[in-house]
Structure 1
Amino acid sequence: MAEKEKLRIDKYLWAIRLFKTRTLASDACKAGRVKLNGQNTKPSHEVKLDELYSVSKGPERKIILVTGLLENRVDAKTAVNYYEDKTPVEDREGFQAMSQAPQLRRDRGAGRPTKRDRRDIDDLQQDFFEKNTEAGNKEEE
């Protein structure tokens, strides 16, 4: 793999497969979703080894440590060798639990939920999250 001494952050994030396109990586930098030491980075920021970046993609937040510079996009198995995921376990589990939450859908044309329907929906969601939190606490013990 071709390693380079100077590399832009948008190109690096695209190469390690955190973003599907380089444009999306660049837009994330411009929007302030890529941070180095709590400071927003520009897409042209030069990546250096052993820097710690915080990257937000929707509800998901990752903290990555640069272990190698990668100029071109490679397969996912190879890309993992060029960064280290330092995201706390609680954040990863929280995101996974959120993606597994039940998606409540209403029939088209059913209108807005009544007050009683809304309370039932809230109770169902609260029960789901409480059960998952209790199950997570039991696994830690």
Structure 2
Amino acid sequence: MNKSTLVSENLRLDKWLWAARFFKTRALAKTAIENGKVFYAGQRPKVSRTVEIGALIEITQGWDKKEVEVVALSSQRGPAVEAQKLYQETENSLERRQAATENRRLTGAATQAPLQRPDKKSRRQIHRFKRQEN
């Protein structure tokens, strides 16, 4: 990391998440924080929460739930290799994500895809069945 990109002063949570490349834009980081997808030290933070080194941040993205420890602060978004130096994922988080990925892979392998698309008669039966459920 360049000395110019490292920050020792106050840094907003949304800006750190963006710089660490968890989200593509600060607006997406802000939305995730507001929607409860990010937890800072076990609590729902505000977007402007000040990030501190050593803090635990839990981030939910799609199927994955990552728990990372803040190792460094940066206010600028850099290459992915540099961004990965800003945090360290906990061992527990890595194990949970790998187990969940394996579980999803095995579940997907167990379901059999249809051999062909349904014909007109089958589609009508499917539509009738779905209407009955509602």
After TM superposition, the score normalised by the length of structure 2 is 0.73
Any idea what the Cα deviations from partners look like across 1:83-106, whole Å, max 9, x if unmatched?
111152331213422553347655
How far residue 64 of structure 1 moved from its aligned partner, in angstroms, is 0.7
Q: Which runs of 5+ in 2 are unaligned?
A: 127-134
Q: SS in structure 2 opposite 1:7? A: coil
1:94 aligned onto 2:93: no
Pick which of 98-107 and 73-82 moved more: 98-107
CA distance change for structure 1 residues 46 and 94 in 2, over 3 Å: closer, same or farther? Answer: same
Query: Using the alignment, how far apart are the partners of 2:112 and 2:11 within structure 1?
Result: 44
Aligned positions, number: 113
How far residue 37 of structure 1 moved from its aligned partner, in angstroms, is 2.4
Query: Using the alignment, how far apart are the partners of 2:91 and 2:66 within structure 1?
Result: 5
* Counterpart residue type for residue 59 of structure 1: W
* Counterpart residue type for residue 29 of structure 1: I
Q: 1:25 aligns with which of 25, 29, 36?
A: 29
Query: Using the alignment, how far apart are the partners of 2:43 and 2:113 within structure 1?
Result: 40
After TM superposition, the score normalised by the length of structure 1 is 0.69
The answer on whether the counterparts of 1:35 and 1:53 sit within 8 Å (CA) in structure 2 is yes
Query: Using the alignment, how far apart are the partners of 1:64 and 1:29 within structure 2?
Result: 15
Provide the residue aligned with 1:130 in structure 2: none
- Which protein is bigger by CA-based radius of gyration? 2
How far residue 30 of structure 1 moved from its aligned partner, in angstroms, is 0.3
How far residue 58 of structure 1 moved from its aligned partner, in angstroms, is 2.1
Q: Which runs of 5+ in 1 are unaligned?
A: 113-141
CA distance change for structure 1 residues 16 and 104 in 2, over 3 Å: closer, same or farther? Answer: farther
The answer on whether the counterparts of 1:62 and 1:87 sit within 8 Å (CA) in structure 2 is no
Q: SS in structure 2 opposite 1:53? A: strand
What is the identity percentage for the equivalent residue pairs of Structure 1 and Structure 2? 30
CA distance change for structure 1 residues 98 and 21 in 2, over 3 Å: closer, same or farther? Answer: farther
1:3 aligned onto 2:6: yes
Counterparts in 2 of 1:54-133, with a 5 A limit? 54-86=58-90, 88=92, 89-97=94-102, 100=105, 101-102=108-109, 105-106=113-114, 107=117, 111=123, 112=126
* Counterpart residue type for residue 97 of structure 1: E
1:15 aligned onto 2:19: yes
CA distance change for structure 1 residues 3 and 63 in 2, over 3 Å: closer, same or farther? Answer: same
Aligned CA-pair RMSD: 2.3
